[in-house]
Amino acid sequence: MKQFFAKPFRFSSLYGAVLVLFALFVVLDTFVIPHGYTVVDPPPTEPRPSVSATDSDKTDTEKTDTEKTDIERTDSEEEDLTPQITANSYKDANISITVTTMRVHSTDVHVAEVILSSPEYLKTAFAKNTYGRNIKETTSVIADRVGAILAVNGDFYGFRNEGYVIRNGVLYREDRFSASREDLVIDKAGKMYSVREGKVSAVDLWYEDVQQVLSFGPVLVEDYEIQVDEDDEIGKLESNPRCAVGMIEPLHYLFVVSDGRTKQSAGLSLLELAEFMWDWDCQFAYNLDGGGSATMVFNGKVINNPTDGRSSGERKVSDIVCIGY
């Protein structure tokens, strides 16, 4: 009789162990094991174009302003190309950034106002220059590698298998997260707006030559109207570290990161964040990944106090939104 029950019991135990191991593998594969799908070309080592050897035979009259050497430029031209940098500002001929920290709702809120001469200086970048799942680095490491002057974390696309991903004009993922998901779109003119994944495909957006699509949300402000209320906090922590980007007008942007989960800073609700962006005259604003991911880097320095509530320091993320050459 004992032998009769022994084999089924051993089989059940083995089957249960296999199920546990399989479940563990699924969890690790989803959240831990890196999967690199596409390696992105690394950024150029020179932040600005320089004169090539083949241009040396051109006469002075044939050379354009961008082709002149530093010696040939006038003092005024040289002044335009040399950035003016302080602890809280950066300015050159193409990029102007002013960083301010203020107290709002018992929280330190870090604001970077950005004015650009061209949309080409608003970019995104992947961790390790690689599109994939669970490919992660800190915001500051990614920013340093691509030479970003200003950077905030992105939408942490690598934590999910769905949600549109278009970065710097390249379509990487067209699987939608949900029909109701509101995505951030930045077009080739530098205009920010939102689309619902159920209303337009990622391929259609790519054919429209949009430069960036990030899938997180929600939309905070659209057409100068606040789009969230207290009900949007259901299922979320009301006060939290937050990260958002906004557009005052094309080429005039606001990057905002709030602290939270500390004695110094309570954090912001989505409504409080939306009201803050609206107060800064944003006609459009969008919520990016927050919590422990919320990070702002300016001139190589982490400006805010990143924390997940248990430990301090930057969390590794999959992508950033940045300003630079």
Is residue 65 over pLDDT 50?
Answer: no
Looking only at the bridges linking them, the beta strands covering 165-167 and 225-226 are: unpaired
Number of other residues whose CB lies within 10 A of the CB of residue 6: 10
Where residue 188 falls among pLDDT bands split at 50, 70, 90? very high
Averaged pLDDT, 145-156: 98
Number of other residues whose CB lies within 10 A of the CB of residue 220: 28
pLDDT in tens, 90-129: 999 999 999 999 999 999 999 999 999 999 999 999 999 9
Top pLDDT among 8 and 87 is at 87
The first and second tokens of residue 119, run together, are 């949309």
Element (H, E) at 163: none
- Alpha-carbon distance 63 to 57, whole Å? 10
CA dihedral 309, 312, 314, 316 (to 10 degrees): -60
What pLDDT is stored for residue 56 in this prediction? 36
Averaged pLDDT, 56-63: 40
Using CB atoms within 10 A of its CB, is residue 19 exposed (0-12), middle (13-18) or buried (19+)? exposed
pLDDT in tens, 194-206: 999 999 999 999 9
CB 209 within 8 A of CB 169: yes
pLDDT in tens, 248-301: 999 999 999 999 999 999 999 999 999 999 999 999 999 999 999 999 999 999
Is residue 64 over pLDDT 50?
Answer: no
Task: Give the sign of the dihedral formed by CA 61, CA 65, CA 71, CA 77.
Answer: positive
pLDDT in tens, 218-260: 999 999 999 999 877 655 557 899 999 999 999 999 999 999 9
What mean pLDDT, rounded, does the chain reach? 84
What pLDDT is stored for residue 231 in this prediction? 77
What pLDDT is stored for residue 69 in this prediction? 38
> Residue 72 corresponds to which amino acid?
E
Q: What is the pTM of this model?
A: 0.80
Assign 142 to helix, strand or coil.
Answer: helix
Where does 90-209 have alpha helices with state H?
A: 139-146, 202-207
